[in-house]
């Protein structure tokens, strides 16, 4: 499996073009703004609590800063991640380089994995750069490390699922905008599907809430690693990647 050369090439393309830089910048800018707003609000609340000790009981950094930050970041990711993956197959198909790439002696699976890993590394870089926020928090307050780690693990798993869906959509079309819209549509549906669980009720309600990306992410921000959530994201990612592989191979079978 020649995954490595494909991976290297994709990383080069990410950073040789402005895409990776722009995504990183925008993500950090928006996430940074949210962090600033949340942290300022928390500071204000702490000062009020200093005068009224009764309020101070409920105040902690995990619930007051990190959890809102994580859920804000997850929404930014919902909007930004389709842009990370839209190029991967669509652009190669449009420019014709896919024809060349797929006639090199590499398996379709290796091409897919190389591209997926490159997107994952770009994403991990996005997340790694946000570690400055908890570092800032830790400089001024006592930070609980457990929920921090699980929160990031949750973001990583959820992002991995986002990227897999994005790759799938990108393999279907030669238009990057279509790829990113389809990705966004699929992700948004899986995001909100749990909302109707309450009034559907019964076992269908449970199915709907189990399908929801949001429901499975929530636990991680509280510091809980539930194997059901992990399995959900791993399955979600696996299925999307499998479908992408099928979409790529379809070309070989469509006589």
Partner 1 sequence: MIEVHDLTKQYGPVTAIRDVSFTVAPGEIVGFLGPNGAGKTTTMRILAGFMPATRGTARVAGYDVFRESLQVRRRIGYLPENVPLYTELRVGPYLEFVAEVKGVPRAERRRRVADVLERCRIADVAHRRIGTLSKGYRQRVGLAQALVGDPAVLILDEPTIGLDPRQIAEIRALIKSLAGRHTVILSTHILPEVAMVCSGVIIINRGVIVAQGPIDRLVEEFFPTARVQVQLEGPREAVREGLRKIPGVLAVHDAPGADGAAGFVVEAPRGRDVRAEVFRLAAEQRWPLTELRRVGATLEEVFIRVVAGEEPAPEAEPAEAAR
In whole angstroms, how close is the CB of 26 to partner 1 at the nearest point? Answer: 20
Residue for token pair 């559907």: 200
Long-range CB contacts (< 8 A, 24+ apart) of 188-192?
Answer: 188/78, 191/78
Compare residues 8 and 246 and give the one whose CB is closer to partner 1. 8
- Between 5 and 146, name the residue whose CB sits nearer to partner 1: 5
Quote the least distance from Cβ 112 to partner 1, whole Å: 14
**Token code pair at residue 51:** 């005068």
Tell me how far, at minimum, the Cβ of 181 lies from partner 1, in Å.
24
**Residue closer to partner 1 (CB basis): 111 or 161:** 111
| Separation CA 246–CA 250 (nearest Å) | 6
Burial of 11 (0-12, 13-18, 19+ CB in 10 A): middle
Smallest separation (angstroms) from partner 1 to the CB of 244:
18
Q: What is the DSSP letter of 66?
A: I
Judged by beta carbon, residue 16 or residue 51, the one nearer partner 1 is 16
Q: Tell the smallest beta-carbon distance from residue 28 to partner 1 (Å).
A: 23
Distance CA 242, CA 252 (A): 16
Could you list the residues that contact partner 1 (CB under 8 A)? 2, 4-6, 8-9, 12-13, 16-17, 95-100, 102-107, 251-255
- Rg of the chain over Cα atoms, rounded to whole angstroms, equals 20
């Amino acid at each position: 499996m020649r995954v490595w050369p494909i991976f290297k090439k994709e990383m080069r393309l990410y950073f040789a073009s402005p895409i990776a830089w722009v995504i990183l910048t925008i993500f950090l800018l928006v996430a940074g703004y949210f962090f600033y707003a949340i942290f300022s609000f928390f500071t204000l609340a702490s000062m009020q609590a200093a005068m009224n000790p009764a309020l101070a009981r409920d105040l902690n950094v995990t619930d007051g800063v990190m959890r809102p930050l994580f859920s804000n970041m997850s929404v930014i990711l919902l909007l930004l991640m389709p842009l990370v993956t839209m190029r991967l197959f669509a652009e190669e198909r449009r420019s014709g380089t896919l024809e060349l790439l797929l006639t090199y002696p590499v398996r379709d699976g290796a091409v897919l994995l190389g591209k997926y890993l490159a997107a994952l590394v770009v994403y991990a870089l996005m997340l790694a750069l946000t570690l400055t926020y908890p570092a800032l928090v830790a400089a001024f307050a006592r930070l609980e490390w457990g929920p921090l780690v699980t929160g990031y693990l949750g973001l990583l798993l959820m992002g991995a699922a986002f990227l897999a869906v994005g790759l799938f959509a990108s393999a279907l079309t030669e238009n990057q905008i279509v790829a990113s819209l389809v990705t966004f549509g699929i992700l948004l549906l899986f995001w909100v599907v749990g909302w109707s669980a309450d009034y559907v009720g019964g076992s269908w309600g449970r199915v709907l809430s189990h399908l929801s990306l949001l429901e499975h992410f929530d636990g991680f921000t509280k510091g809980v690693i539930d194997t059901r959530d992990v399995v959900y994201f791993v399955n979600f990612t696996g299925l999307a990647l499998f479908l992408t592989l099928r979409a790529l191979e379809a070309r070989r079978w469509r006589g």
